[in-house]
Amino acid sequence: MAKLVGRLGHPQQLLACFEAGPCGYGLYRQLMALGVACVVVAPSPVPVRPGERVKTDRRDAVKLATLLRSGERTAVYVPDEREEALRDRARAREDAKQDETRARHRLTKFLLRQGVRPPQGVRPWTAKYRKWLDSLHFDRPEHEILFGEYLRALDKAAERVDRPTHAIEQLVEGHPLRRLIGALQALKGFQLVTATTVAVAGDFLRFGHPRQVMSYGGVVPSERSSGGTIRRGAITKTGNAHLRRVIVEAALELPLSAPSQHRPAQTPGPPATEGERHRLEGEGATACAVSSARGSRQTQERGGGCRGSGAAGLCLGHRAGSAQRQGNREAGRLNSGSFQGTHVEAKGGASASGQPPGR
């Protein structure tokens, strides 16, 4: 490589690129050590002509050079050696987990073919389920031997999952990404493996907008629109599949919105002043009267755009801004203070007291 660079010219005047692939980043680091600016590009956005039937290394090199000169190539993030080692450990653990899942499927399908079902109330792959597996015996010796092989393969797959997990714990200690990984674990659904997978995805500050981060993970909807017709489908599933898998699993751990009847009532505040009442009425925000949990559900079904608590109160808008949130707090004071009889126009023509206007 050093001889090739010497024949091409001065290293400071050269710009090289190659597609990311299974060979890693050794060539990139070698060129950078020689003083040659190098770019690793993503292979998927490379345009392919429909009628092109001849593909050679020379033609691919000319195409890459042409696209690089025109600025139409997308560079990928290149990690350093320590970060790449941690990423390889995390992906090795993911491979071992997939092997464990396949071993579980082989065992359960064998039991299904033999008509063996777990006892009532025993959930799959719990301690009770494993105790039940160890107690199984079959009449035919062939099935007994086969079941033992499946069980031993499952134990070996579980050990292969534990070893990379312990290795990740050791690598994180003293790693430059240790603080980031620790901070990510403060989020709901994030533990060591998930936080490590997200951290080794690279510096997210390189993205100019959150949409680019979602596109990098492949969680944006696909689209085939033309003219006034808009057609959106499932997510694209392009980009970093490892990042997409862990963030989807972490999102499943988030609690769903609690029903309105289970939400605690707001603590009434002090009575509002006359100036606060006039400012509230002049906000022009959408007010929704909520007198009970039943009224809250009816408001949601009618598209009122707000969800209230079990106690009487006012909710301003569905996505209120800072002014509307301030009005929401003042509305609670109005409802509990000396202005309980004050009429505040609500969305749908209802007043703050829950009665139609004019009563």
Give the global pTM.
Answer: 0.64
Share of the chain above pLDDT 90, in %: 48
Q: Quick: pLDDT tens for 172-188.
A: 998 999 999 999 999 98
Q: Quick: pLDDT tens for 215-250.
A: 999 999 999 999 989 999 999 998 899 999 999 999
How far apart are alpha carbons 217 and 285 in whole angstroms?
A: 37
Bridge partners, 229 (sequence order): 226
Q: Quick: pLDDT tens for 315-325.
A: 333 444 444 44
Q: Quick: pLDDT tens for 52-70.
A: 889 899 998 998 999 888 8
> For 12, which DSSP code?
G
Q: Over the range 157-189, which residues count as b (16 or more CB within 10 Å of their CB) and which as e?
A: beebbeebbebbeebbeebebeebbeebeeeee
Domain ranges of the chain: 2-49+57-69, 81-184, 269-359
Dihedral angle at the C-alpha atoms of 338, 340, 341, 343, nearest 10 degrees? 120
Nearest in space to 290 (alpha carbons), one of 310, 270, 305, 272:
310
| Pair of tokens at residue 350 | 């209802």
User: Do residues 151 and 108 make contact, with C-beta atoms less than 8 angstroms apart?
Assistant: no
